[in-house]
Amino acid sequence: MTENVQAIGVDFHCHLDLYPDIEAAIARTEAARIYTLTVTTTPKAWARNHELTRHTRFVRAALGLHPQLVAERAGELLLWERLLSETRYVGEVGLDAGPRFYKSLDAQEHVFRGVLERCAEAGGKILTVHSVRSVPAVLDMIERYLPQDRGAVVLHWFSGSKSEARRAAALGCYFSVNADMTRSDRGRAVVTELPIDRILTETDGPFTQIDGRPSEPTDVRTTVAAIADVRNLPVEAVTKLVISNLRSLLA
């Protein structure tokens, strides 16, 4: 992270290409010095995201194949594989066993296995992983197909149990937390249990809102304040911890 030591915040999971003007969103994020991972939902979206972030200082693009789209787009895994060498960052990928997407779970597992295996072969990739109602399966697959010395995983919007959080940490995973996670008792309990040296911040914008508008990377200060409240820590201390955790992840 030597080129980004002056970042003042971290948004490790955001969909900048889903805002009305991606170029303007990137420009705002750069000006605010927020280290941001802008994820893609299909490999066909990669070229545009890659082009716009090739020379940015704080914004990085991730190559994804979203589990909620696998039913229609599983065939794009081959394209995803061809593009993998162009980036260090992978996402959004993972599993979704929610009611709307459960029917495609077998296909999702096939795609996610392929993603993990190709990342393990390449080495050095950092993945942001979706795990809705599927944390045990996601962790099983990470443990089996992506050794800790071959890549790193950040569990996005983690909603698992305390024991699953401990297992994920033992597997080397990080956790990206957004403000919405701290708005329920269960979510606050999860954030309380996460290892403090593995916490990153995210917005998941534009899928979360603040003050009635889609969240942007500049809104991670709200997330930092929420984590500080849950963990009974000063806001400044959480800010420093998140930056330190990012350095450790990127190293």
**What pLDDT sits at residue 131?**
98
Inform me whether the pLDDT recorded for 220 exceeds 90: yes
What are the φ and ψ backbone dihedral angles of 59, each rounded to 5 degrees? -105, 130
What H or E segment, with its residue span, contains residue 30?
helix 22-32
Which runs of E-coded beta strand occur in the chain?
9-14, 34-38, 59-61, 89-96, 125-132, 151-156, 174-177, 199-201, 209-210, 213-214
State the DSSP code for 11: E
Supply the mean pLDDT for the chain.
96
Number of domains present in the structure of the chain: 1
Is 2's pLDDT higher than 70? Answer: no
Contact 119, 127 (CB under 8 A): yes
Question: Once rounded to an integer, what is the mean pLDDT over residues 210-238?
Answer: 96
Burial per residue of 183-211, b for 16 or more beta-carbon CB atoms within 10 angstroms, e otherwise? eeeebbebbebbeeebbbbbbbbbebebe
Span 202-206, average pLDDT: 97
- Note the pLDDT of residue 5: 53
Q: Which two tokens stand for residue 199?
A: 């916490």
On whether the CB atoms of residues 19 and 206 are closer than 8 A, the answer is yes
Instruction: Using the structure block, give the residue that is written with the tokens 């809705």.
Output: 132
Confidence grade of residue 6 (pLDDT, cut at 50, 70, 90)? confident
32-80 pLDDT per residue, tens: 999 999 999 999 999 999 999 999 999 999 999 999 999 999 999 999 9
pLDDT for 1 equals 38
How confident is the model over 139-173, as pLDDT tens digits?
999 999 999 999 999 999 999 998 999 999 999 99
Per residue in 104-144, pLDDT (tens digit) is 999 999 999 999 999 999 999 999 999 999 999 999 999 99
Write down the pLDDT at residue 3: 45
Residue 80, C-beta contacts closer than 8 angstroms, at least 6 positions apart: 43, 63, 64, 65, 115
Q: How far apart are CA 59 and CA 240, in angstroms?
A: 19
* pLDDT at residue number 79: 98
- Domain of 173, CATH number, reads 3.20.20.140
For residue 88, the model assigns a pLDDT of 98
- The sign of the torsion formed by the CA atoms of 173, 66, 143, 149 equals negative
- Angle among Cα 133, 153, 64 to the nearest 5 degrees reads 75
Say which residue the tokens 């983690």 belong to.
158
Q: Name 137's Cβ contacts closer than 8 Å, sequence gap at least 6.
A: 95, 97, 109
Residues 6+ apart with CB under 8 A from 228: 234, 235, 237, 238
Give the pairing type, strands 174-177 and 199-201. parallel
Domain that holds residue 168: 2-250
Closest CA to 134 of 162, 159, 117: 159
The confidence score (pLDDT) of residue 208 equals 96
Does the structure show a pLDDT above 90 at 200? yes
Query: Is residue 7 scored above 70 in pLDDT?
Result: yes
Q: Residue 150: its pLDDT value, please?
A: 98
